[in-house]
Amino acid sequence: MNNIRLIGILLAATLIFKAEAKDLRIGIIGLDTSHVTAFTRILNDSSAKDHIPGGKVVAAVKDSSSDIKSSYSRVEKFTNELTRKWGVKLYPNVNILCQHVDAVMIENVDGRPHLKHAVDVINAGKPLYIDKPLAGTFADCIKIYRLAKQNNVPVFSSSSLRFSKPTLDARAGKHGKVLHCETFSPAHIEPHHPDLFWYGIHGVESLFTVMGPGCISVKRGITKDGKIKVTGKWNDGRVGIFRESNGYGGTAKCENGVHPVGNYDGYAPLVKEIIRFFISGKSPVDDRETLEIYAFMDAADKSKSANGNEIPLNLDWE
């Protein structure tokens, strides 16, 4: 009996050790968005109802943009919370940070520094999640994924809106084939970025989650109340539409009726996917689909400049 008990104790200790060993050390770059404190709480607070196990934020590089008020005016607040409440250690640059972590999240609210930071993380060989926007230009988006592919380093980028349950249900075919989809979200414009990169990405991500890849052209217009409206044509004849609006939502017309999509289910579903990605090295979103989303938004700006003419969506990506 004593031997059986001893074996049980040793087995339990082994399991606990393995569980603890699985906790990834996560580093954050860019501390100027509420996402950094929200994600850290979900990961580091084991008592939280929406806690996601598997990794903890342990290190960060404080970075912000001096020409974007929503960045420079908030970075101190979020940095203080990370260091004082969660014990996150600050490092002076990305190269040193990468020496102390297993995986990295780029969180700058400004997409322009993302390429520079991604280069350092990819060269260090660390799996990388990049928060929206993926980069400051579509050209930079391509550069990030090409470099990652050349170095065989996994990269994942997505809005949290992708992982709402109704949206995923539609994508999975729960209601039959999706025939048409319209989504909406706020689309605040930041002048250093293409119009939809800053906030419209949320509704566009929902649109592509439901429709899947395959968009071939984009036409931008305005709604009756002067809001942004972008219509995409898919290679199978289907049409998907993004509209600027208050809140988050949309509808998917499927073989089995019309169903709501595009809602916001919080950050935990996204954080869960980030941890799975860090562990497996496999992104839940195909690289091409992510790049097609940014090609769609880039083409929307080109259509705007061309007085609303239809713009072909050409994505040079294998």
The whole-number mean pLDDT for each consecutive block of 10 residues of the chain, a chain of 318 residues, reads 45 41 90 97 97 98 95 96 97 98 98 98 98 98 97 98 98 98 97 97 98 97 96 98 97 98 97 98 97 98 97 84
Q: Which domains does the chain have, with CATH numbers?
A: 2-160 (3.40.50.720), 161-312 (3.30.360.10)
**pLDDT confidence of residue 318:** 67
| CB of 28 closer than 8 Å to CB of 59 | yes
pLDDT at 18: 42
pLDDT at 3: 52
The pLDDT, as a whole number, for residue 316 is: 81
| Residue 290 to residues 36, 113, 125, 134, 294, Cα–Cα distance (Å) | 22, 19, 21, 9, 7
| DSSP-derived pairing of the beta strands 178-185 and 249-254 | antiparallel
Quote the pTM value: 0.92
- Quick one: which of 59, 58, 38 has its CA closest to 50? 38
